[in-house]
Structure 1
Amino acid sequence: MSEIYRLAEQKDAEQLLDVTYRAYQLIRELGLHWPAATADLALIEDNIATNECYVLEVGGTIVATITLSKEEEVKKLSPLPFIKWFAAHPDYSNRGYGGKLLDWVEENIILGQLGSPEVTLATAKKHPWLVQMYERRGYKRFLELDPQNGDGIMYLLKKTLADKPQFIQRG
């Protein structure tokens, strides 16, 4: 089946709500206050309109989604591109779709279009496997904070992407 990487459209909102809600089940069980974990259709539609929400579609089904934030609040933490709302459809787990979409966004959007050699994201210390997953993918912790909302310690992680080729002008 063909894999299609693209920006989400408003017509995708209901399917994105289903993917996100199901993927964030553990986040709700851990009692984390992440907007994506309890999003309703209006919040999903707002995310699509306000940010750059990307999807990986396989056979007409959205199997993974990731958002590149455009929100000013995030820029106070780091001026670098910020990834959020990363989710893979549980029915398609262990097929690498989430990782493929993350790689595509890092290479084609963050490095390729934005020209940023680095990217950031945040995750909770108390999540049983997310910190380790991101670290295996090359992300490194650079800031620890407590949002004072009951989530406990949150880590900001940063990844250095491959440098774009530099052209040297010789005179």
Structure 2
Amino acid sequence: MSLRLLTKADLESYHFVLHHGYQQTKEFPISFEAADYSKEDSLKWLEAHPTYGWFDEELTSVLSLRMPWGAEPGPYGVPHIGHFTTHPNYSGKGYGRQLYQQVEQEILKKQLRTPFVTLGTAASHPWLNEMYQRFGFHEIARKQLTGKQHITIYYQKDL
């Protein structure tokens, strides 16, 4: 198993994992745009945001960082996690946790030396809030974002 920064050459597998990983959110009153991304949307995202993949022979999980200096910075001036999902065929195997832990250690702490990282998710999501709390994140704000069906909970993890 390994961590790798994804490139345009990974577009097919990235889009496949992203698309299938986010399909289950359509069952809930949640607005995650990634669930409806086209391949072109996925390419634009890969070109704009450092996106990491977790591989176990093939790509199983993905996680992107919205950088403070990028086109879509997070709300708190530090790297903000986005597009974090695992393909349903690999759910429950700990691949998402392993991906997050490696990005935290190797990228956020060692390379970027950021004091904390943030992410946002739907308050009504049935398992993500509990998962992020198990990962060591704590809630810092709630907000109804324009165009979203759900209330967004912002989380922070001190590094």
Question: Aligning the two structures, in what range does the TM-score lie when normalised by the shorter sequence?
Answer: over 0.9
Question: Which residues of 2 match residues 107-126 of structure 1 at below 5 A?
Answer: 107-126=105-124
Alignment of structure 1 residues 12-161 onto 2, 5 Å: 12-59=10-57, 61-70=58-67, 71-75=70-74, 77-161=75-159
Change (3 A) 1:91 1:58: same
Q: Which amino acid aligns with 1:141?
A: E
Q: Which consecutive unaligned segments of at least 5 residues does structure 1 have?
A: 162-171
Cα deviation, 1:35-93, whole Å, max 9, x if unaligned, reads 2111110111111111101001111x101100011344434x21111000001111112
Moved over 4 A (4+): none
Residue 9 of structure 2 corresponds to 11
The DSSP-based 3-state class of the residue aligned with 1:74 is coil
CA distance in 2, matches of 1:72, 1:143: 22
What is the aligned-residue identity percentage? 29
RMSD between aligned residues = 1.3
Could you tell me how far apart the structure 2 residues matched to 1:51 and 1:20 are?
14
Offset at 1:17? Answer: 1.2
TM-score between the two structures when normalised by the length of structure 1: 0.87
State the shift of 1:29 in Å: 1.9
Number of aligned positions between the proteins: 157
| Larger Rg, first or second structure (1 or 2) | 1
